[in-house]
Amino acid sequence: MKAPVPNTLNALFPPLSRPPPDKPLPIDPSERPAICQEEYVHNFAFGSNMGPEKVKARAGGIEFVSAEPGLVRDYRLAFNLGGVPPIEPVMAGIEPEQGSVIHGTLIKLPRAQYEKLYKSEGGGAGKKRAYLEEEVTVETYSGKQVQAVAFRTAPRIALPRHLEVPASKRYLDLLVEGAKAIGLDKDYVRRLEELPRAPPANGIEKWISRSFAMFFFFWAVRQLPGMSAVYFVKLVAFFVYHYREVCRQSTSPALQLLAYPLLFIMLLIMLPGSFIGVGIRLARTCSSYVDKGWKRIKVVVPEREAKELK
């Protein structure tokens, strides 16, 4: 009997894209729409999941039955889920607004695949999840009306409208690509293309924010101790980023100058977390090399044993 291969650091540092373990969501069923309990669940995607290929690539592979364009009335596209500035300042959600219309993709999934999709959007965090499930009525371009679930930013963390800032070019490009891929209304696609983009992060601010993002999502996915403090740090960094953008876009020379110290303060706030993020990245890199070494040993040793037996 072969001795088991020792666990490597991958047990502690799995890829961040890996979905949480296959277990029920830690959410009271009474807090979820009834349609989430059906054999097939319809999800209305309005953000980066509008493109069918993007959905397939999520969480190690999502399998769905069908995808078609549709719209929801009396809701608007909101950028009210704070991200990690400046690389990803905000992400999309939906908010009720009388008279507004939001277009997107109606995706039909087996219930197990829908659960997997929701986990990839933070549903596994239970009461601390970033998105809540909102039941909406989708009008498909083919004329059907379907009850579906859309992901709405949880009110406890949703940014007020006056604090919403432009999303990154990368994120908005995903929306435009997905909208074109599924064949959304051309006027709506043009509106997405015309949305303002956040200024790109360069140099040290890009390095610090990327490393902080590694740290933040590592902690958030696993809901490790001190998560409230980590959220608080990210929230403070976002508010500083918001006012830095207000100053940067101001016509007042004095306020434009103030944008520089605000940038310094924001980076200083994220710096401790970014160092932890660098450590996580290094540990994962080391674990990858350890795994490759073990795989090499598992191949070479049996070959030597076979030669000795001969």
- State the catalytic residues: 121
Token pair 């995808």 is found at 67
Burial of 93 (0-12, 13-18, 19+ CB in 10 A): buried
Sign of CA dihedral 37, 39, 43, 48: positive
What is the end-to-end Cα distance of the chain in Å, rounded? Answer: 20
What are residue 304's phi and psi, to 5 degrees? Answer: -65, -40
Sequence-ordered strand ranges (E) for the chain? 40-45, 66-84, 88-110, 131-140, 145-153
Q: 131 labelled as ligand-binding?
A: no
- CA distance linking residue 102 with residue 72, whole number of Å: 5
Q: How many C-alpha atoms does 14 have within 13 Å on its Cβ side?
A: 11
- CA distance linking residue 50 with residue 128, whole number of Å: 25
Helix (H, G, I), strand (E, B) or coil at 201: coil
Phi-psi region of 195 (alpha: psi -120 to 50; beta: other; left: phi over 0): beta
- CA distance linking residue 154 with residue 95, whole number of Å: 10
C-alpha to C-alpha distances, 56 to 51, 53, 164, 224, nearest whole angstrom: 9, 5, 29, 28
Q: Who's near 281: CB < 8 A, 6+ residues apart?
A: 211, 214
| Binding-site entries for substrate | 171
